[in-house]
Structure 1
Amino acid sequence: MLSILLFLAVCFLAYSNGANDNFKGVATLFGSNTTDYKTAIRWGTFCTLLGSMCSLLLAQSLLRSFSGKGLVPSELVGSETFLFAVAIGAGTTVLIATLTGLPISTTHGLVGALVGSGLVATAGSVNQQVLFSTFVVPLLVSPLVALCLGALIYSFARIVRVRSGVTKEWCICLGQEQKTVPIPQPYSMLAVDATRQELAISVDEQIRCNQRYVGRFLGINLQSLVDRVHFLSAGVVSFARGLNDTPKIAALLLVVHVFDIRWGLAAVAITMAMGGLLNARKVAETMGHRITEMNHGQAVSANIATGFLVIVASRFGLPVSTTHVSVGALFGIGIVGRSAHYRSVATILLAWVITLPCAGTIAALTYCLVQ
């Protein structure tokens, strides 16, 4: 009976992961107005599925890391109760963040749940050295590396573009703008704010004006080439996310001997895809529009940085967070382009800090209740 509950809990975690994470790989497609939301999420889901299916061959070490082996005593690693609590703690935390539109890390949630459940189950006997070297260091370092790499790639690409004589089209934006107008109240010192629509016009490189590159490269229209590379890079990021996240979640099913772990990976991949297709909209708005404004070149630079780091980390078994890497890369290009939304990024960072204790507390309570 507990094996079935564990399987369902892992599927719940995979669904929450898909809802919060599936759009992150294609957020730049949506944020730069390259395509609409539906096309972006479908492309991201397809590429994530491919990465999930390849994870069995390319990410075996992550299966071992997220089973809890080395972090907690061996007898606890094989405990269905312990792993059930981990799945519920991480899945609930990620789902709450998804419903509020905050892109948090499932990896972070899993680490917090492993530690919280492990502390209760072993009366504080968690291997702190393994926790620090295997989990904490990669999670802390990866967003900083992504920030620097994203900024460097975009800066280099911009220098190449300028020296190649490629320019940008300027545009005139004409449309309605909502303005707030104070209306004085008779016999009162107070004024009531009201909104009204006014005709607005501006000349700028605004993202909503659909900024485009002018010129040709190797005989190909440069804007068309950038769009194709952009879709390809977004697919690589989504592929890398499926490759990195699927084994982390499926690792919780290693103790279930009723079916082969390959069926567990398939179940995780399918429920992850369902979560993205059904519940990714709020996170999409945050990732696409609230971290930074971006044009096509900035978006491609962020994707290249994210995809490279996550694939390398998956190959060597480093449990980095796609969320941390993606947000770090976007923030890096936002700093270089002077368009970063610092307040939104601060809110996301706060959510990351809360993720660990939240997942740990829910997992610990779940373990106590099941016991």
Structure 2
Amino acid sequence: MILILLFIAACFLAYSNGANDNFKGVATLFGSGTTNYKKAINWATITTFSGSVAAIFLAEELVKNFSGKGLVPNELIQMPIFAISIALGAAFTVFIATKIGMPISTTHSLVGALFGAGVMAIGTEFNFAKLGKTFLVPLIVSPLMAAVLSLVLYIIFRYIRKKLNITKNSGIYIDKKQEAEAIPVAAHHMSTVAKETKIKTSIHHTKLETYNGKLLGINSQKVLDSLHYLSAGIVSFARGLNDTPKIVGLLLIINTLDIKWGMIAVAITMALGGLINAKKVGVIMSKKITPMNSGQGFTANMITGLLVTTASIHGLPVSTTHVSVGSIFGIGTVTKKADPKMISKILLSWVLTLPIAAIASGLLFKLLQSIL
């Protein structure tokens, strides 16, 4: 029974992770107007799932790190209530953030939950040195690296674009929608209420920037859109590669469950979370941090994909959220269009993530210890 509870807790974490994180890889596609929300989330789902499957073969080190090995004694790792506390503490933190629309890090939540349950269980025996070196340093450094690299790369790309005589063209895209609305109206008899159908028209104006010119004899905008799709797929693939093992690491104590089946279960649940609950966070990532065109979005995605993929292969638990937000903010810094208020709200949510997850998992560990 307790092992079933652990599996459900891990799946809840995977669902919350998908809801908060899946759209982040394609946020620039939607934000730049390259495609609509539905096509973007479908592309994210396919490529994230592919990354999750690839994690079976490429991300063994991350699985070990997030099982808690080296942070706490092996005897504690073998306790199902320890893993359940970590999974639920992190899952509740990510799920609440998703509901209010804040793009937080599942990695950060897991680190906080590991810390909270670990300290509650063994106190000062917890390996604080490894926590800082293996987990916290990559989490802090990665968004700063992403912001600087995306800023520098965008300046380089802009210089090359001008040298190739590829110019930007600004235009207004008008999106007109009509919806039927039923309005109650008074009927001849006082006891009855009739309904009248009224057509409501809403018009949204969106400023879009496109590129004019040829690149290797091909329309430069078409080339850029194709590369943008590819880069978004790489980011989503990298996220699946980096995040799936972190959740599966909690299932290592279920010796009867093959680790490959654990990966697949997590991958499917993660995909469902993204399809059902990703929109609120997706809109904030796409529209609220900074306006962007397809070239700027492509640059941000390139940096995010490269950093997260490299980190996954080397077993470094960076946050796709931190890297992605850092990359987009770096672009906004160059264009001077970043929204500092939104960034400050996101940063505050990042600061609160670790302590909230730690408190939740610590309390859950004590509660489960007293019940079971």
TM-score (norm 2): 0.90
Give the CA deviation at 1:345: 0.5
Matched letter for residue 351 of structure 2: V
Change (3 A) 1:220 1:174: closer
Matched letter for residue 319 of structure 1: P
Aligned to 1:54: 54
Secondary structure, aligned partner of 1:256:
coil
Give the CA deviation at 1:123: 2.5
Aligned to 2:70: 70
Alignment of 1:90-169 (within 5 A): 90-169=90-169
Aligned to 2:284: 286
Aligned to 2:28: 28
Aligned to 1:219: 217
In structure 2, distance between residues paired with 1:299 and 1:112: 31
Give the CA deviation at 1:44: 0.3
Task: Kindly provide the CA deviation profile for residues 304-326 of structure 1, in whole angstroms up to 9, marking residues without a partner as x.
Answer: 00000000000000000000000
Aligned to 1:235: 233
Aligned to 1:191: none
Task: Kindly provide the CA deviation profile for residues 57-104 of structure 1, in whole angstroms up to 9, marking residues without a partner as x.
Answer: 111100010001111112111111100000000000000000000000
1:56 and 1:262 in contact (8 A); partners too = yes
In structure 1, distance between residues paired with 2:305 and 2:172: 35
Matched letter for residue 335 of structure 2: G
Aligned to 2:189: none
1:89 and 1:362 in contact (8 A); partners too = yes
1:241 and 1:322 in contact (8 A); partners too = yes
Aligned to 1:350: 348
Gaps of 5+ in 2: 177-204
Task: Kindly provide the CA deviation profile for residues 98-150 of structure 1, in whole angstroms up to 9, marking residues without a partner as x.
Answer: 00000000000000000000011113321111011000100000000000111
Task: Kindly provide the CA deviation profile for residues 19-44 of structure 1, in whole angstroms up to 9, marking residues without a partner as x.
Answer: 00000000000100110001000000
In structure 2, distance between residues paired with 1:134 and 1:251: 15
Alignment of 1:268-283 (within 5 A): 268-283=266-281
In structure 2, distance between residues paired with 1:290 and 1:296: 16
Task: Kindly provide the CA deviation profile for residues 255-311 of structure 1, in whole angstroms up to 9, marking residues without a partner as x.
Answer: 001220111000000000000000001001110011111011100000000000000
Aligned to 2:335: 337
Task: Kindly provide the CA deviation profile for residues 155-198 of structure 1, in whole angstroms up to 9, marking residues without a partner as x.
Answer: 1100000111111113368899xxxxxxxxxxxxxxxxxxxxxx
Change (3 A) 1:159 1:120: same
Aligned to 2:86: 86
1:118 and 1:124 in contact (8 A); partners too = no
Change (3 A) 1:47 1:221: same
In structure 2, distance between residues paired with 1:324 and 1:79: 31
In structure 2, distance between residues paired with 1:247 and 1:149: 27
Task: Kindly provide the CA deviation profile for residues 193-228 of structure 1, in whole angstroms up to 9, marking residues without a partner as x.
Answer: xxxxxxxxxxxxxx9222110011111001111100
Change (3 A) 1:160 1:127: same
In structure 1, distance between residues paired with 2:175 and 2:305: 37
Number of paired residues? 342
Aligned to 2:255: 257
Secondary structure, aligned partner of 1:208:
strand
Matched letter for residue 370 of structure 1: L
Aligned to 1:360: 358
Secondary structure, aligned partner of 2:206:
helix
Runs of 4+ more than 4 Å apart: 172-176
In structure 1, distance between residues paired with 2:65 and 2:174: 54
1:81 and 1:370 in contact (8 A); partners too = yes
Aligned to 2:265: 267
In structure 2, distance between residues paired with 1:129 and 1:323: 24
In structure 2, distance between residues paired with 1:281 and 1:261: 31
In structure 2, distance between residues paired with 1:173 and 1:285: 18
In structure 1, distance between residues paired with 2:45 and 2:81: 31
Aligned to 1:312: 310
Matched letter for residue 168 of structure 2: K
Change (3 A) 1:106 1:174: closer
Matched letter for residue 11 of structure 2: C
Aligned to 1:208: 206
Matched letter for residue 148 of structure 1: V
In structure 1, distance between residues paired with 2:360 and 2:252: 22
In structure 2, distance between residues paired with 1:43 and 1:174: 25
Change (3 A) 1:268 1:142: same
TM-score (norm 1): 0.90
Matched letter for residue 136 of structure 1: L
1:66 and 1:251 in contact (8 A); partners too = yes
Secondary structure, aligned partner of 1:133:
helix
In structure 2, distance between residues paired with 1:175 and 1:271: 34
In structure 2, distance between residues paired with 1:340 and 1:311: 26
Aligned to 2:198: none
